[in-house]
């Protein structure tokens, strides 16, 4: 089983076919960065058209059972998520609405302070806001997973502790291995995984040691060492693949509507653009390279299988539905 915890590709029939060539059973795709509710609904509509156009390649994912269907019919289940809480605007009641439409993940922040929490680029991290605490509880109730991939350390730990259900960091790497602003320190990874949450490893070059020149062996050894420290059962892959996106999309991701200036983020002090992917992961057909590299580290077959997809499958099955009471 192969599941990718985060992609933001420029979707096309070519990429859908590459998903099948790579044996990718499910993906979590970003359908909002800074969009408001109405704009996000239009993105849901766009995906509905793709599901109609390519029913032999992709299907809409809402529960883990949809992954079973995808595997049985040789398709890829697509699960939706937001990298910002902008789709719910300032209305907590929209949490249930976006879940009904198909959203299964929502980040509480995207780099900046939001109405809910602090982003990882802010000078001060004030933790969850009053609204943030209420929204996390509502997300717990409906089955919308709290994603803290772009959040500050204090906010992430607070979310892990405040949430009644496990949360996720869908795409990042350990800060000790590659000290990017977006990568996570050990106390953050521990808070998420010890509470039953998931940590997805990213192959986005700005999050890698050596960036585009990072070797497969170095990446997989990093995964193995993280498994030794925090256990392999809470780890997965979240590539953050942005395949075929034009460089202009980086500006939308980082700038949105909140500033008139260019936010360079973790790239060079020149016009922002997408970095070259490492040679061992260019597109979805290369998942076998990661699987092969993980085996070479000495991880067991069960551990490799879990990291490649089994752990995400379990997490999906336990967290995408309404909260049950006993």
> Where does the pLDDT of residue 268 fall: very low under 50, low under 70, confident under 90, or very high at 90 and above?
low
> Where does the pLDDT of residue 255 fall: very low under 50, low under 70, confident under 90, or very high at 90 and above?
confident
pLDDT value at position 201?
A: 98
Q: How many Cβ atoms sit within 10 Å of the Cβ of residue 83?
A: 24
pLDDT value at position 253?
A: 85
**In this predicted model, which residue has the larger pLDDT, 326 or 163?**
163
Per-residue pLDDT tens digits for 114-130? 999 999 999 999 999 99
Count of alpha carbons within 13 angstroms of residue 323, beta-carbon side? 15
> Where does the pLDDT of residue 269 fall: very low under 50, low under 70, confident under 90, or very high at 90 and above?
low
pLDDT value at position 146?
A: 98
pLDDT value at position 267?
A: 54
- As a whole number, mean pLDDT of residues 64-81 equals 98
- As a whole number, mean pLDDT of residues 190-196 equals 97
Q: Which of 33-37, 124-128, 273-277 has the lowest mean pLDDT?
A: 273-277
pLDDT value at position 324?
A: 77
> Given a cut of 80, is residue 263 above it in pLDDT?
no
Q: Residue 50 burial by CB count (10 A; 0-12/13-18/19+): exposed, middle or buried?
A: middle
Q: Residue 314 burial by CB count (10 A; 0-12/13-18/19+): exposed, middle or buried?
A: middle
Per-residue pLDDT tens digits for 280-307? 999 999 999 999 999 999 999 999 999 9
Domains and CATH numbers, the chain: 3-319 (3.20.20.140)
> Given a cut of 90, is residue 29 above it in pLDDT?
yes
Average pLDDT score over the chain: 95
From the list 137, 261, 225, 165, the residue with the least C-alpha distance to 128 is 137
> Given a cut of 80, is residue 192 above it in pLDDT?
yes
pLDDT value at position 262?
A: 77
pLDDT value at position 250?
A: 83
Tell me if 37 sits within 8 A of 272, measured CB to CB: no
pLDDT value at position 323?
A: 84
Question: Considering the entire predicted model, what is its pTM?
Answer: 0.95
pLDDT value at position 254?
A: 82
pLDDT value at position 249?
A: 87
Give kind and range of the element (H or E) at residue 161: helix 153-162
Per-residue pLDDT tens digits for 211-223? 999 999 999 999 9
Q: What three-state secondary structure class fits 317?
A: helix
- As a whole number, mean pLDDT of residues 71-92 equals 98
Distance between the two ends of the chain, CA-based, in angstroms? Answer: 32
pLDDT value at position 206?
A: 92
């Amino acid at each position: 089983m192969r599941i990718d915890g985060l992609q933001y590709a420029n979707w096309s029939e070519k990429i859908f076919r590459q998903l099948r060539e790579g044996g990718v059973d499910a993906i979590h795709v970003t359908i909002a960065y800074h969009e408001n509710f109405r704009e996000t609904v239009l993105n849901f509509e766009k995906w509905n058209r793709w599901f109609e156009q390519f029913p032999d390649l992709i299907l809409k994912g809402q529960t883990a059972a949809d992954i079973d269907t995808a595997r049985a019919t040789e398709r890829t289940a697509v699960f939706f998520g937001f990298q910002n809480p902008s789709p719910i605007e300032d209305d907590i009641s929209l949490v249930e609405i976006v879940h009904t439409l198909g959203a299964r993940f929502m980040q509480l922040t995207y780099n900046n302070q939001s109405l809910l929490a602090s982003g990882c680029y802010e000078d001060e991290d004030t933790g969850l806001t009053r609204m943030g605490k209420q929204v996390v509880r509502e997300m717990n109730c409906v089955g919308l997973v709290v994603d803290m991939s772009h959040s500050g350390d204090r906010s992430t730990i607070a979310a892990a502790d405040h949430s009644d259900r496990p949360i996720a960091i869908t795409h990042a790497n350990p800060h000790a291995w590659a000290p990017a602003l977006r990568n996570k320190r050990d106390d953050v990874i521990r808070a998420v995984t010890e509470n039953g949450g998931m940590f997805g490893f990213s192959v986005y070059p700005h999050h890698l040691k050596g960036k585009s020149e990072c070797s497969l062996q170095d990446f997989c050894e990093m995964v193995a060492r993280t498994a030794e420290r925090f256990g392999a059962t809470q780890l997965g892959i979240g590539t953050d693949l942005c395949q075929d996106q034009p460089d202009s999309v980086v500006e939308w991701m980082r700038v949105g509507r909140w500033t008139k200036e260019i936010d360079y983020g973790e790239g060079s002090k020149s016009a922002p653009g997408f970095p070259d992917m490492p040679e061992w992961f260019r597109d979805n057909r290369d998942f076998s390279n990661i699987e092969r590299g993980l085996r070479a580290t000495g991880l067991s077959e069960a551990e490799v299988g879990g990291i490649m997809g089994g752990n995400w499958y379990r997490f999906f099955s336990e967290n995408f539905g309404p909260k049950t009471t006993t």
